[in-house]
Amino acid sequence: MTSRNFVAFGLAVFLAAHLAAAYQKPLESRSIREAYFLGQRNDEAMQKFLATYMRRFPIPPQGPHVAEIELLTPYAQVVKISQRKSVGYSAQQAEQEYSERGDRIAVRVLILFTNTYSLILDSPNPGNHKGILLRSPDFWRDFDFRLLQEDEMISAEYVSGEPQYLPDRYSGTSALSGATVYLDYDAGRVKSIPTRVQVLTSDGQRVTAEFDLAKLR
């Protein structure tokens, strides 16, 4: 094998190994800095990169709208945090925060009200019109959230919800319009293989987002 062919072969092996380990854990310092600068750019390339970690869904005929499911690898988390902290945020801070955070898989689910699943609940006593029952900001707790790989369901280590409010331009007040649910997983339990995030709604919908972690950073 000539020296030129040897170099070409070595480069091909390096690239193949790099692509096979696309879902990185733990992140090397170089990868953290690369992700940091990608987030700081906040340009079209960054938007296209983060779009591969997001799935959006149409409004269903009935029931709540599972509008978005996002899954972020450790690398993608550094990119997104860097995007949000665009002023006075350094690569050294990004490395420090990653070190404190560790290797996590972060899932975010956006659930919105619809005309058939709204803030106002059906009254348990239709003949009683004295009051209106409103849906609780914790309504999302009636939903089931799953992370699936092959035949295994991986449990989240932390789950939280944040109510979403929609302002009324006429009254100046805001009304509950849905919720964002955050789930946090130990990346050590999540393999670099096809992965499904599944949401089972309180009315029986099954919404599934698929991500191939072997093809994500």
Is 130 part of any domain? yes
What's the confidence (pLDDT) of residue 20?
A: 45
What's the confidence (pLDDT) of residue 91?
A: 97
9-23, 152-166, 171-185: range with highest mean pLDDT = 152-166
Question: Which domain, by its residues, includes 59?
Answer: 22-139+156-188
Task: Of 70, 69, 67, give the one whose Cα is nearest residue 59.
Answer: 67
Q: Does residue 71 register a pLDDT over 50?
A: yes
What is the tens place of the pLDDT at every residue in 118-167? 999 865 555 555 568 999 999 999 999 999 999 899 999 999 999 999 98
What is the tens place of the pLDDT at every residue in 26-69? 999 999 999 999 999 999 999 999 999 999 999 999 999 999 99
What percent of the chain has a predicted confidence (pLDDT) above 70? 85
What's the confidence (pLDDT) of residue 14?
A: 36
CA of residue 111 relative to chain centroid, distance: 13
Task: Of 128, 98, 87, give the one whose Cα is nearest residue 33.
Answer: 98
What's the confidence (pLDDT) of residue 12?
A: 42
Which residue, chain included where needed, has tokens 């987030």? 39
What's the confidence (pLDDT) of residue 109?
A: 98
Is 37 part of any domain? yes
145 backbone dihedrals φ, ψ, rounded to 5°: -120, 130
Is 6 part of any domain? no
Is 167 part of any domain? yes
In one-letter notation, the amino acid at residue 160 is S
Least confident of 14-23, 67-76, 199-208: 14-23
The string over 8-17, giving b where at least 16 C-beta atoms fall within 10 Å of a residue's C-beta and e elsewhere, is eeeeeeeeee
pTM of the model: 0.86
- The three-point CA angle 142-106-109 to 5° equals 35
Between 142 and 87, whose confidence is greater? 142
Number of domains in the chain: 1
Is 126 part of any domain? yes
What's the confidence (pLDDT) of residue 125?
A: 59
Beta-carbon contacts of residue 21 (< 8 Å; ≥ 6 apart): 192
63: left (phi over 0), alpha (psi -120 to 50) or beta: left
Is 15 part of any domain? no
Confidence of residue 173 (pLDDT cuts 50, 70, 90): confident
Is 4 part of any domain? no
Is 132 part of any domain? yes
What percent of the chain has a predicted confidence (pLDDT) above 90? 79
Confidence of residue 172 (pLDDT cuts 50, 70, 90): confident
Mean local confidence (pLDDT), 58-84: 98
Residue 135 and residue 120 in contact, taking contact as beta carbons nearer than 8 Å? yes
